[in-house]
Amino acid sequence: MFNKKLGQLILISAVGTVMFGCGSDSSDSSSDVAYVQYYNASPNSTSTSLVLDDYSYSAIDFADAMPRYGYSTGSADLDVYGQDEDGETVTIYTDTVEMNADDNHLFVLHGDYTDPQLLDINYNREDMDDLNADDDYEYSKMQVLIANVATDEGTFDAYISLDTQDFDDAVMLGSVGYGTYSDSMILDTEDYIVYLTEAGSTDVVYTTGSMDFTTETVYKLVIRNSFGAGDLKINIDSVDSTTTADNYAALESTADYRIFNGLETQNIDVTISSQQETQYLYDVTAFSVSDYQSTSFNDYGITVKDATTQTQLFNNLLPLCQDSCRLSFS
């Protein structure tokens, strides 16, 4: 159980799971305003734009978000614009949505870019704002929920704890299958850790680093596909109400890399070293790609030599991050 420092746990159960198929973080509300935000989680997409009633917002790359904006209430025509193979703007998704007063919508594009889906994360922040306006509460409040748009990766149970605690102290945030999201939870503004397990299990498969949840806002955590070479091909992004999503790779992840030799005639030897370890790849053939190698995430010195003469061709510093695939070109 959480200690007193965690404060009250208030579950907001007014939001459900909805499948679909116009920034600020001000808590001010108006009887004729709803709020919208857009996040691109389609892993093979071009940059895409949310369009409401023919008004197009800025284009968003994969794993990024636009800020939260106010929008008038009522029915709105929703489109998502992308680009075709010729770079021409095309409509890749279309629907009609209802904008009710003080609603908050995070529209998440996910799935295959050629036939995408849109998850409407519809949440209410009124209770959080009321608590933060109440001087009787010692700690300010934030709100958090989690969604799963990682194709073919199954259902996850998500838990959350203070970053000074461990999994045994965590409480369940929600169980999320593909294309669903959890109810939101109100907690004290603090630093937290989120854990993922397979559904029904308590064996942790994904642990985030410390997550800074110290702003009085709603943090929407999105489990999305990643391009790592590991078995668990997911990442967690945190989308608040600003423009850039924060990524939290799993602490369990390794750094995965492979070497591409772009020289036409020379085979190469490669040495990759940190203070903790050194790895060698010998005789990487001209115009070939090595197998993936795994190592701990760190900063590495990379030295490339001609395999025959041992003449040094390249020497540089390269950070290898968790769940990353790096191509070193020589």
Please tell me whether residues 281 and 180 are part of one structural domain: no
Among 211, 232, 248, which residue terminates a domain? 248
Please tell me whether residues 198 and 273 are part of one structural domain: no
Q: So what's the pLDDT on residue 32?
A: 85
Residue 218 contacts residue 125 (beta carbons within 8 Å): yes
Query: Dihedral of the CA atoms 182, 186, 188, 192 (nearest 10)?
Result: 0
Nearest to 12 by CA among 104, 123, 107, 129: 123
Query: What CATH number corresponds to the domain at position 269?
Result: 2.60.40
- Sequential DSSP letters for 139-170: S-EEEEEEEE--TT---EEEEEEETTS-GGG-
Among 223, 248, 273, which residue terminates a domain? 248
CA-to-CA distance for 271 and 253, rounded, in angstroms?
A: 22
Amino acid occupying residue 227: F
327 has which bridge partners?
Answer: 258
pLDDT at 29 over 80: no
Please tell me whether residues 266 and 230 are part of one structural domain: no
Amino acid occupying residue 57: Y
For the stretch 212-261, pLDDT in tens is: 999 999 999 999 998 766 678 899 999 999 878 999 988 887 777 888 88
Please tell me whether residues 172 and 90 are part of one structural domain: yes
CA-to-CA distance for 321 and 300, rounded, in angstroms?
A: 10
Helix (H, G, I), strand (E, B) or coil at 42: coil
From residue 83, alpha-carbon distances to 193, 216, 274, 286 in Å are 37, 36, 42, 35
Q: So what's the pLDDT on residue 138?
A: 83
Write the CB contacts of 231 (distance below 8 Å, at least 6 apart in sequence).
none
Residue pointed to by tokens 């070109």: 329
- Print the domain residue range for 308: 255-329
Among 207, 228, 248, which residue terminates a domain? 248
Please tell me whether residues 178 and 129 are part of one structural domain: yes
Q: Where are the alpha helices (DSSP H) in the chain?
A: 126-133
Please tell me whether residues 135 and 65 are part of one structural domain: yes
CA-to-CA distance for 177 and 198, rounded, in angstroms?
A: 10
- Average pLDDT of every residue of the chain: 86
Please tell me whether residues 97 and 181 are part of one structural domain: yes
pLDDT at 10 over 60: no
For the stretch 284-311, pLDDT in tens is: 999 899 888 877 767 788 999 999 999 9
Please tell me whether residues 45 and 186 are part of one structural domain: yes
pTM (2 d.p.): 0.77
For the stretch 184-208, pLDDT in tens is: 999 999 999 999 999 999 999 999 9
The tokens describing 321, both together, are: 């991050």
The mean pLDDT value for 268-273 works out to 91
Please tell me whether residues 103 and 138 are part of one structural domain: yes
CA-to-CA distance for 151 and 154, rounded, in angstroms?
A: 8
pLDDT at 30 over 60: no
Nearest to 56 by CA among 91, 105, 106: 91
Please tell me whether residues 219 and 273 are part of one structural domain: no
When divided into structural domains, the chain yields a total of: 2
Residue 68 contacts residue 104 (beta carbons within 8 Å): yes
Please tell me whether residues 267 and 178 are part of one structural domain: no
pLDDT at 210 over 70: yes
**Separation of first and last alpha carbons in the chain:** 53
Please tell me whether residues 215 and 283 are part of one structural domain: no
The mean pLDDT value for 147-153 works out to 94
Q: How many CB atoms lie within 10 A of CB 43?
A: 19
